[in-house]
């Protein structure tokens, strides 16, 4: 819907002059950008969502909004200059600090979609701002290498989880996109008291550990992301933690991250079985965690 704001004649008590509408009226046309997205979650008080349209390669803000616990947007319709809308080729949704001192888009671009006509279809899986997760897959295994004595297994492998294929050494096998600036992967085990992080990592294909091992034993871990659960148990959680039967998740987290909980993007999800290594357990593609919908102009 186009709104027209006409800047015309001004009067102050009496008409001081007359205007010719054809010569003096300035017509400013605006239109509405309508966002219809499912799967967004609250960002807390220190972050907000911001929409952008791209015109000739330049991002133009369409406004900020928040999301409540039910996933409802605080605002879905945004008034934007009509010429900007007419020439917009892409929509991008970012995560921005609140308050935001920088007028440029943040590195955390959550979703994006190209306009076809007046609509842009939004799917993190296939038209992403973060990455294409449509082929996401991988396995994990239960083992506790960080408390082994001179390489001898202590027969307690149910207390650790590692992402990849077991071996000497284990090897990575997660099929996930390399993330752009502003994002990291993070592993989680879901306990009765909530999720416990196994640490963050950036390259799912590399032979490398993640960035933290607060719960593991004294020995170094294998060259894949993961965690043993022996020490420094979070409040209310009893260690050692038996991972069997528990849900295991790989999430995508904004970096820097303002929350200790998993972010809404959780492309890989699996349930640990009863068998420990060399048995593996499959991750499945968790499409339900990825935002989707449309934006119209």
Q: Is 14 within a domain? A: no
Q: Looking at the predicted structure, is the pLDDT value of residue 28 above 90?
A: no
Q: Looking at the predicted structure, is the pLDDT value of residue 148 above 60?
A: yes
pLDDT for 295 equals 97
Can you give the residue range of the structural domain that contains 46?
32-131
Q: Is 25 within a domain? A: no
Return the C-alpha torsion angle 232, 235, 241, 246, nearest 10: -140
Residue 170 and residue 116 share a domain:
no
Measured CA to CA, the distance from residue 210 to residue 223 in angstroms comes to 9
Give per-residue pLDDT as tens, 188-210.
999 999 999 999 999 998 888 89
Residue 184 and residue 109 share a domain:
no
Work out the mean pLDDT of the chain and round it to a whole number.
88
Higher pLDDT pick, 73 / 182: 73
Predicted confidence band of residue 24 (pLDDT cuts 50, 70, 90)? low
Domain count along the chain: 2
Q: Looking at the predicted structure, is the pLDDT value of residue 214 above 80?
A: yes
Residue 284 and residue 145 share a domain:
yes
Strands (E), the chain: 3-7, 26-38, 47-55, 58-65, 77-81, 90-97, 109-116, 119-123, 138-142, 160-163, 183-191, 194-201, 226-228, 247-254, 265-271, 281-285, 292-296
Predicted confidence band of residue 150 (pLDDT cuts 50, 70, 90)? low
């Amino acid at each position: 819907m186009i709104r027209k704001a006409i800047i015309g004649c001004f009067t102050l008590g009496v008409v001081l002059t007359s205007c010719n509408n054809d010569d003096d009226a300035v017509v400013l046309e605006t239109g509405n950008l309508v966002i219809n997205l499912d799967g967004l979650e609250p960002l807390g008080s220190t972050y907000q969502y911001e929409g952008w349209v791209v015109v000739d390669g330049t991002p133009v803000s369409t406004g900020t909004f928040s999301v409540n616990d039910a996933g409802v947007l605080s605002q879905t319709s945004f008034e934007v200059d009509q010429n900007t809308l007419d020439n917009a080729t892409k929509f991008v949704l970012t995560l921005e600090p609140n308050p935001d001192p920088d007028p440029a888009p943040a590195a955390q671009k959550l979703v994006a979609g190209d306009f076809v006509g007046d609509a842009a279809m939004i799917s993190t899986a296939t038209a992403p701002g973060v990455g294409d997760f449509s082929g996401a897959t991988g396995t994990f295994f239960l083992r506790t290498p960080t408390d082994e004595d001179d390489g001898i297994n202590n027969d307690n492998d149910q207390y650790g989880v590692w992402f990849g294929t077991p071996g000497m050494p284990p090897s990575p096998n997660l099929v996930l996109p390399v993330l752009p600036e502003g994002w990291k992967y993070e592993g989680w085990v879901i306990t009765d008291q909530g999720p416990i992080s196994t640490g963050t990592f950036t390259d799912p294909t590399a032979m490398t550990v993640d960035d933290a091992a607060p719960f593991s034993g004294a020995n170094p871990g294998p060259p894949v992301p993961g965690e043993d659960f022996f020490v420094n148990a979070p409040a209310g959680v009893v260690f050692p933690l038996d991972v069997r039967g528990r849900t295991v998740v790989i999430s995508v987290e904004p970096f820097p991250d303002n929350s200790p909980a998993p972010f809404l993007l959780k492309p890989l999800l699996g349930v640990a079985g009863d068998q420990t290594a060399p048995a593996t357990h499959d991750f499945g593609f968790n499409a339900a965690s990825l935002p989707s919908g449309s934006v119209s102009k």
